[in-house]
Amino acid sequence: MRERCVVFDLDGTLADTARDLIPVLNRTVAAAGVRAVGPEQIRTVAGNGARAMIERAFALSGIRLTPNLHDSLFRRFLADYEANIAANTVLYDDVEAALSKLAQAGHPLAVCTNKPVAMARLLLEKLGIAHRFGAIAGGDSFDFRKPDPRHLTETIRLAGALPSRAIMVGDSLTDIRAARQAGVPVIAVDWGYSSEPVANLAPDAVISRMDQLHAAIAAL
């Protein structure tokens, strides 16, 4: 029997994308008179998509965000981010080694992210790890997205696996909710963009370094 499929979140789990998301956000909202936000103000929503980040920046400045302006800024954000997607973003420590170890052990690997799928693929390619994944599904790959469990289960299907033979690895309540509702065990990383300690969100396991992942999967 094949080893369990391991499905990863991207932002805050595999890569520290806030290093580029926050500068892009600040450039995007500056024209609307919104003051720049710092990592401590926005980092906890950096993995929830550009729209959520824009909303948060406007809320922090106390400025009303209309739907039309939101749409316009969202398009501007995506254009800027595509051009600067890996200017400062880096993989977290030991990610490449962990992926290699899992692949050598026979685990199918996949990514399930709320980032637009084209952006996700582009980033993973620039970071040199896209080839590791049998499936990459983004927030626009289907008509639903995390925390909807179908986003996770369809990603698993694309990877040629079954939910009963899968594990989710993520950094947020969104990931944990999706996994729980899909009946998939979930391992939380404690270095990501969660607004509260991930241990409080009742994942099946918590790791503090990526080199702990293989043992955590084996324990499950």
Task: Give catalytic residue positions.
Answer: 9
Q: Residue 93 and residue 110: Cα distance in Å, rounded?
A: 19
Closest CA to 149 of 120, 171, 180, 170: 180
Q: How many CB atoms lie within 10 A of CB 104?
A: 8
Question: Cis (ω within 30 of 0) for the bond into 147?
Answer: yes
DSSP letter (8 states) at residue 8: E
**Backbone conformation region of residue 39, classed left if phi is above 0, alpha if psi is from -120 to 50, else beta:** alpha
| DSSP per-residue string spanning 126-181 | HTT-GGG-SEEE-TTSSS--TTSHHHHHHHHHHTT--GGGEEEEESSHHHHHHHHH
The secondary structure element, H or E, covering residue 71 is: helix 67-83
Q: Residue 150 and residue 148: Cα distance in Å, rounded?
A: 5
Q: How many CB atoms lie within 10 A of CB 39?
A: 12
